[in-house]
């Protein structure tokens, strides 16, 4: 049975990945680690939780030894918009944290998952059907750390024969976790406003097309990749994965089919708009489909219906 450590466990991805991993591998076999001193009750009651600084090799190594960890899901990172507000902190968390975790994983022979992002691309990248291997010249600190992280993981794989795997996530949409400073956060915020019967001000302009994915697909992709036969993996690290591609106005129209009285206006945030304009409209994920059988289950319509249904039930999340 795997023994797993998840860094950034209280973040957008980690808060949904941890319960799924615990269901699959056993609650005591999945250690959630984050920076919060008072995490959500589920992390205290449902399995081991540890406070951890991802730049502190000694404390990470101690946790790996304490719990006999053999697999690390390294999710701790500062997201795109927040990274632009504090690039020095973003570099420390995103890059120094990654290298620290890589070194711990190397010394303790751990398998590692590292998530990259559409942010790893830039304005000179082909925006439509963005290839698996293409030019990557991001103009944000977040994107720079993701490209550097991809390359660093490739280096550790080639230099030390480590088992390192990862995906490039599109924008992620979840009903369980509030947005955390990303450029695609409008696609989460809009649902919270709609269910509360409040008008929404979109910070991206009409017609801004971006890759998106509903969180259940994202969680499933991570686990499927980590369980895939290593002999089938050619790229291993930073697989493009996608599920849907839409604009704010298209998502608004989809929500209006369920909630006809919902209204949205535009109040463009220049920083996040510039970031969004540098990202792909839709990635080509044929490598992931061919090498480990990736296949999304949700399109925009199915995701919209479920988001509204779940948020209505999760009353505490929308107050």
Domain that holds residue 104: 4-170+213-240
Residues annotated catalytic, as ranges: 142
In a domain, 291, yes or no: no
- The answer to whether the CB of 106 falls within 8 A of the CB of 127 is no
In a domain, 288, yes or no: no
Q: Are residues 116 and 18 in the same domain?
A: yes
Residue 37 confidence (pLDDT): 60
C-alpha distances (whole Å) from 52 to each of 20, 46, 57, 64, 106 are 21, 18, 10, 12, 19
In a domain, 128, yes or no: yes
**Whole-angstrom Cα distance, residue 199 to residue 193?**
6
In a domain, 203, yes or no: yes
Q: Are residues 265 and 140 in the same domain?
A: no
Residue 35 confidence (pLDDT): 81
How many domains does one find in the chain? 2
Q: Are residues 137 and 218 in the same domain?
A: yes
Residue 314 confidence (pLDDT): 79
In a domain, 286, yes or no: no
Q: Are residues 236 and 260 in the same domain?
A: no
Q: Are residues 60 and 204 in the same domain?
A: no
In order along its 319 residues, the chain shows pLDDT tens digits of 799 999 999 888 999 999 999 999 999 999 999 886 666 666 667 899 999 999 999 999 999 999 999 999 999 999 888 899 999 999 999 999 999 999 999 999 999 999 999 999 999 999 999 999 999 999 999 999 999 999 999 999 999 999 999 999 999 999 987 767 788 999 999 999 999 999 999 999 999 999 999 999 999 999 999 999 999 999 989 999 999 999 999 999 999 999 999 999 999 999 999 999 999 999 999 999 999 999 999 999 999 999 999 999 976 445 4
Q: Are residues 221 and 249 in the same domain?
A: no
Q: Are residues 143 and 186 in the same domain?
A: no
In the beta sheet, which residues pair with residue 70?
Answer: none
Residue 319 confidence (pLDDT): 47
In a domain, 293, yes or no: no
In a domain, 290, yes or no: no
List the CATH number of the domain containing 303: 3.90.25
């Amino acid at each position: 049975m795997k023994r797993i450590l998840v860094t950034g466990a209280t973040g957008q991805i980690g808060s949904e990945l941890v319960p799924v991993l615990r269901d699959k591998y056993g609650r005591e076999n999945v250690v959630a680690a984050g920076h919060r001193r008072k995490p959500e009750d589920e992390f205290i009651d449902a399995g081991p939780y540890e406070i951890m600084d991802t730049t502190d090799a000694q404390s990470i190594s101690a946790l790996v030894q304490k719990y006999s960890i053999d697999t690390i899901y390294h999710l701790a990172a500062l997201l795109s918009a927040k990274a632009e507000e504090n690039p020095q902190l973003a570099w420390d968390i995103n890059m120094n944290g990654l290298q620290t975790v890589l070194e711990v994983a190397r010394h303790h022979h751990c398998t590692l998952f590292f998530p990259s992002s559409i942010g790893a691309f830039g304005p000179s990248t082909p925006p439509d059907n963005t290839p698996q291997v293409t030019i990557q010249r991001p103009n944000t600190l977040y994107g720079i750390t993701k490209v550097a992280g991809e390359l660093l993981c490739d280096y550790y794989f080639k230099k030390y024969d480590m088992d390192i795997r990862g995906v490039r996530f599109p924008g992620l949409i979840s009903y369980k976790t509030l947005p955390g400073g990303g450029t695609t956060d409008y696609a989460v915020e809009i649902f919270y406003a709609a269910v509360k019967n409040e008008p929404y001000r979109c910070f991206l302009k009409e017609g801004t097309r971006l890759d998106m994915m509903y969180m259940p697909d994202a969680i499933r992709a991570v686990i499927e990749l980590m369980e895939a036969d290593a002999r089938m993996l050619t790229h291993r690290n930073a697989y493009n994965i996608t599920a849907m591609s839409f604009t704010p106005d298209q998502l608004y129209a989809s929500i209006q089919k369920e909630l006809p009285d919902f209204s949205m206006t535009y109040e463009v945030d220049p920083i996040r708009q510039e970031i969004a304009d540098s990202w792909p409209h839709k990635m080509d994920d044929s490598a992931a489909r061919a090498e480990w059988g990736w296949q999304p289950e949700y399109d925009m319509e199915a995701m919209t219906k479920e988001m509204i249904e779940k948020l209505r039930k999760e009353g505490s999340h929308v107050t």
